[in-house]
Amino acid sequence: MFFTADTHFSHANIIKHAKRPYLNKAEQQICDEAHSDNPSWDQWQAWQDLKLSSETVEKHDEDLIRKWNNKVGKTDRVYHLGDFAWGSVDRIKRLVDRLNGSITLVLGNHDRRIIRNAGGVQNVFKKVVEYLEISVPDQDASKGNRNIILSHYSHTVWNKHHYGSWHLYGHSHGQLKEPKFCSQCGNKLEPTFNCIFCGFIAKGASIDVGVDVHGYTPLSYDDVKKHLSSHAPQTLDQHTLRNLRREDFGDDKHKQKSKEEGQASND
What CATH number does the domain containing 121 carry?
A: 3.60.21.10
pLDDT value, residue 229: 76
Report how far residue 71's alpha carbon sits from residue 218's, in angstroms, rounded to the nearest whole number.
7
Domain membership of residue 265 (yes or no) is no
Q: Is position 34 within any domain?
A: yes
pLDDT by 10-residue block (mean), the chain, 267 residues: 97 94 96 93 94 97 98 98 95 97 97 93 96 94 90 90 87 79 65 59 76 96 88 53 48 51 55
| Residues 48, 108: Cα–Cα separation, whole Å | 24
**Which residue range is the domain that position 132 belongs to?**
2-236
CB 225 within 8 A of CB 207: no
Distance from C-alpha of 1 to C-alpha of 182, rounded to nearest angstrom:
35
Structural domain contains residue 250: no
Interatomic CA distance for residues 85 and 70, integer angstroms: 19
What kind and span of H or E run contains 77? strand 77-80
- For residue 151, being part of any structural domain is answered with yes
Position 174 scores a pLDDT of 86
pLDDT score of 53: 96
Does 153 reside within a domain? yes
Residues 103, 204: Cα–Cα separation, whole Å: 27
Q: Answer whether residue 66 is part of any domain.
A: yes
Residue 264 lies in a domain: no
Domain count, the chain: 1
- Structural domain includes residue 258: no
